[in-house]
Chains A and B, each alone.
Chain A
Amino acid sequence: MRTTLPLAICLVMGLLMLVQWFVPHPLSMELFRRVNDWMLTIGVFALVLGIGSLIMVHTRRVRRQTANWPYSVVVLLGLVVTAGVGFVEGFAHPLRGLETTQALPYEEGTYTAKAGTITIRDAGVKGVTLEKGDRVRVLYEGGGHTDALVTTTVSDADDGNTDGVVTAAIAAWRQGVPPENGTAFAVIHPGADVFNWIYEYFYVPLDSTMFSILAFFIASAAFRAFRARNLEATLLLLSACIIILGLTTPFIYVWGKVLPMIPEAPTAAKDWILEVPNLAMRRAIMLGVGLGSVAQAFRIIFGIERTYLGGGG
């Protein structure tokens, strides 16, 4: 039971999805979609375990005051603050979730503002929902603007037709008095701005900096590893150097001046390596890896390889 059931599930799912690829029928497409959705669902639960593991590791460090424990506080704070901001902002605007603020400027329609309501006539609001918490902004002709908060969610479709005429209940205008009727206005759907600010100014720079650190490591790896120890190592280093020089514009320029009879040689050599030996070797790896992957997949489907279940069972 403990081994047979998982192996049977694996076999059935494997063969089912294998056959599915050969069947273009909608039922088969639906099966494919469902199984993929289900794997996403399963992943959500696994993630709970993963995040749980992360939290456990770091709370334990804090509790036991092991070396570097203050940094574990940083991890936990980063986690709680980022996720917390995401939840607060996401729940505040459930329709838009974690999107950033969107402003829909309308320049062709008209609005009629009264105390407590505003009526918007514009093709752009056809079918649009003004959510509670959205803001209507009216732009003054000479510059500047005034805002009002939408107090109840209302949609263009509420009156039975999507004619692009919406009347929304609003709170007081920020500037006190309702603006004169006019044509320049916008609807602002506030979004998860703090959450996205964290993403843009914490996550993105950290991510791209870590990526760019590779430029340093590539240099130190080249220094240490590119030694002409034997024929294979020499081929590796020569091929790398030819490619690099073929992409170095001043080198090509100087080459063209010194050897004008073969001015294109560095580029041509670079291209030849990429197009001929490189292509051959990549093709071989792809074919080999392709067959290897299929064999591995069959090993798992047929239950020959069962390490993932924890040994022979």
Chain B
Amino acid sequence: MNAIWSFIRTDRRFIFLVVAVTVIVPVLVTIPFPVPVSNATRAAFNTMEGLKPGDAVLLSFSYGPSSMAEVQPQVEAVMRHAFRKGLRVLTVSLFPDAAPLGSRALARVVDSDEFRSESGGSRLVEGTDYVNFGYRLGTDTLIRRLGQNIPQFIETDVRGERLDALPVMQGIQNFDQIALVVDFAAGDSPDWWVVDGQGRYGVKVAVGVTGVMVSQQFPYLNSGQLAGLIGGGVGAAEYENLINAPATATRRVATLAFVHLLIIAIVIFGNVLYFREQRAAAEGDPA
């Protein structure tokens, strides 16, 4: 028994093995896990749920490939919810890296089974139900420009179609006609949206952010400057749960939970070992 313990203590490869098993098995065998919903994510969901069909939401993509594991599922869940509600979806990328990821999410949701029409194609039509502005230069300046006048500044969508000609843009001038902005972020962009979008033009803003950024957003959420907050992969899973469409995030979070519990177990186990040794040392050395 002691030999096994000392092996575990000295050879970290044992821990590597356990971690590997803890990741691979749940990925292979999907184990449904309850995902309790936090207030922050529920606030984002309720805000979206409160919109009327035909309202416009602007999704802003401000993340990149390295934050994709957490943010991409958030984007897909929010987009799915918006299309289900019959909202008009406008998308813009604040960073060049984000543009292909945003387009990919849009394509995945639009072409998913849920929105398939009888003829086999998607019943969502680009230009009528949604529009993609693509990457636009300017970061925080861009937000201020959009607040002044969207069609005048953007002019054409990613396909080169003039915005004034698109049914989806009818009646949309500036942030007064945007019911909600959701920013998907891996950097400073929530600050820009809160200060410039919410503060200056009064548009409602919700954000989806990576796990490490969550804590910085709470002051905004508490003060009401943010209408909702989806935090990291866990937030994405919560949102999937709320719209009753479990997908990537729900699966990953189930796996994540196993690893988290494993790490807690490892820490407890390490401390048990440590105190046993301490006691043994104290007994062996009565001085």
Direct contact of A and B (CB under 8 A): yes
Q: Which residues of A contact B (CB under 8 A)?
A: 124, 211, 215-216, 218-220, 222-224, 226-229, 237, 240-241, 244-245, 247-253, 256, 263-264, 267, 271, 274-275, 278-279
Expressed in whole angstroms, the Cα–Cα distance for A226 and B215 within the complex equals 23
B256 partner residues in chain A, CB cutoff 8 A: 247-248
Contact B16 A216 (CB under 8 A): yes
Contact B38 A267 (CB under 8 A): yes
A279 to chain B, nearest CB (A): 8
Q: Is B116 an interface residue (CB 8 A)?
A: no
Q: Is B84 an interface residue (CB 8 A)?
A: no
Contact A249 B16 (CB under 8 A): no
Contact A248 B260 (CB under 8 A): yes
B160 partner residues in chain A, CB cutoff 8 A: 124
Query: Which of the listed residues B20, B232, B267 has the most CB atoms from chain A within 10 Å of its own CB?
Result: B267
Contact B234 A249 (CB under 8 A): yes
Segment of B29-37, B139-147, B164-172 in the binding face: B29-37
Interface size range of chain B in the complex: 35 or more
Number of A-B contacts (CB under 8 A): 97
B268 to chain A, nearest CB (A): 9
Encode B6-31 as 1/0 by CB contact (under 8 A) with A: 00000010011011100100000000
A223-B269, A248-B256 known, 4 other contacts, Cβ within 8 Å: A219-B16, A223-B266, A223-B267, A275-B215
Contact B264 A244 (CB under 8 A): yes
A220 to chain B, nearest CB (A): 4
Expressed in whole angstroms, the Cα–Cα distance for A271 and B232 within the complex equals 14
Contact B263 A244 (CB under 8 A): yes
Tell whether A247 pairs with B34 under 8 Å between CB atoms, given A226-B270, A226-B271, A228-B274. no
Tell whether A245 pairs with B33 under 8 Å between CB atoms, given A216-B16, A219-B19, A220-B16. no
A264 partner residues in chain B, CB cutoff 8 A: 38-39
B263 to chain A, nearest CB (A): 6
A248 partner residues in chain B, CB cutoff 8 A: 256-257, 260-261, 264
